[in-house]
């Protein structure tokens, strides 16, 4: 069952997004960006993103049941020649966090990027100390590409950013695998040089845990 949709922002959303952009947790998430912001700065940002040729696409994340705007999802640095873009997402409404809405909105954003924009690669950066986000992105098929060492200075210490990406075929493979099961290779159980169809191959025993299977079935029903 779908709980959220993504939609274009309008100027009437400005007071709410301005409030989010001045929340301490959002400011920390976007370290290095010009936050906090005032109304004039926010209005100029809206003027840019509402221009059709500006290389940033910003969607509002809206609850289907009551049309409540709860966050933003972004595609920026759009490169239609290389067919790539960077994504970012956050739930600004603190009362609507930890409900799975980020995951749903990210799915919709990726589907738009690959299906509607024809992109091949979408990447993102995440703080190395954000274990929840790292786990979510890996479960959704993102691969760690590298690390931007000590790229954020916060509270007297440096924090690195992890760069992750997902390719078009990886997204659809993750999405449409008949049961979308994430198998875990059991390295200790393998059969080396098994004779299969006229040639020797290594065979591995694969397994899936109950909690993984139940979670994936929810994803499959969603789509």
* More confident of the two residues 124 and 175: 124
Q: What is the pLDDT of residue 87?
A: 96
Angle between helices 14-21 and 39-49 (to 10 degrees): 120
CB of 186 closer than 8 Å to CB of 166: no
pLDDT tens for residues 181-202? 444 444 445 555 566 677 776 6
pLDDT tens for residues 116-148? 999 999 999 999 988 989 999 998 889 999 999
Confidence (pTM): 0.75
> Per-residue pLDDT for 48 more than 90?
no
Domains in the chain, ordered, with CATH?
4-176 (3.40.630.30), 182-223 (no CATH)
């Amino acid at each position: 069952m779908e709980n959220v949709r993504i939609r274009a922002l309008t100027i009437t959303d400005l007071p709410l997004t301005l409030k989010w952009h001045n929340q301490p947790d959002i400011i920390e998430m976007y370290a290095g960006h010009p936050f906090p912001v005032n109304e004039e700065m926010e209005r100029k940002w809206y003027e840019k993103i509402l221009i059709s040729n500006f290389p940033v696409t910003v969607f509002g994340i809206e609850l289907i049941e009551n049309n409540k705007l709860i966050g933003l999802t972004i595609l920026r640095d759009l490169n239609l020649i290389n067919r790539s873009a960077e994504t970012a997402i956050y739930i600004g409404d603190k009362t609507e966090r930890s409900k799975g809405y980020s995951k749903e909105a990210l799915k919709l954003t990726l589907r738009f990027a690959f299906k509607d924009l024809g992109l091949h690669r979408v990447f993102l950066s995440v703080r190395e100390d954000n274990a929840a986000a790292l786990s979510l992105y890996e479960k959704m098929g993102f691969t760690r590409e590298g690390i931007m060492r000590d790229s954020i200075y916060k509270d007297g210490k440096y924090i690195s950013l992890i760069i992750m990406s997902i390719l078009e075929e990886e997204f659809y493979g993750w999405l449409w695998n008949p049961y979308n099961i994430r198998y875990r290779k059991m390295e200790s159980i393998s059969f080396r040089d098994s004779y299969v169809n006229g040639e020797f191959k290594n065979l591995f025993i694969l397994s899936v845990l109950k909690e993984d299977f139940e979670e994936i079935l929810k994803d499959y029903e969603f789509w």
